[in-house]
Amino acid sequence: MADPQTLQRPIRELSPVAVINAAAYTAVDKAESDPTAAFAVNAQAPGYLARLCHSHELPLLQISTDYVFDGRQRTPYRETDPIAPLSVYGASKAAGEAAVRSLCPRHLILRTSWLYSMDGQTFLTTMVRLAGKRDELSVVGDQHGTPTWTHDLAAAILTILQRVLASNDEGLWGTYHLTSRGQTTWLGFATEIFRLAAAAGQATPRLKAIATADYAAAAPRPAYSVLDTSKIGATFGICLPTWQHSLAQCCAKSRPSASEEKVA
């Protein structure tokens, strides 16, 4: 991803009307001991891509993170609030934002948070996997944020790009926050995951709340990283469902239908 030649090839072959950069180094703890790799993917590559997009007159949409904030605030962060990342991961994403802003004027930076799906390694898939192996799970209960379903994020991105590509309004470019509605903790997120699982007849473990200080993580996390999404609502009319509603939809989509269960 950090190789400029690799970035140029799809631009030439696909002739896109816009570019979405969803690639990222997301191993938050590993980044503490491997900052070179984190900055290569999260900062240098977006810079290469931004320069390339500008030279081809293409808008660039960059996905960023709530971890650019330090979590000391206790009200939802706005786009204009100062950033102060605590971790290498957060610092690398902040550097990527800066590169995009400076090198590609026609950009959209979308900060989101706590992304999950039933694909890949996410908090949701980790909880589902561990549910079948543990009778009890310890989950951090003092970090506050907003779980956001990747399906909702993708749908919103399409809506945003359709709007900006059809408009000559230069004021639409810039930084936005985009998450589901509401907020919770990792413990609250896990509790809702297993409530839905239990309602579907699945076995669930007991949950034990622990403090961040008791969780031996290499990278510091913001204690509060809820994002204010009023700007994207006012500008694009986008208001995602509550995180509980989207989680239920995500889990329902992953369960086999009655006909599939009969075939199995």
Which residues have a catalytic role annotated?
89
- CA distance linking residue 14 with residue 161, whole number of Å: 17
Give the bridge partners for 148, in sequence order. Answer: 115
- Residue where the block lists tokens 């939809």: 249
Cα separation of 185 and 209, whole Å? 10
Q: Which of 75, 64, 79 is nearest to 22 (CA)?
A: 64
Q: Are 120 and 129 in contact (CB under 8 A)?
A: no
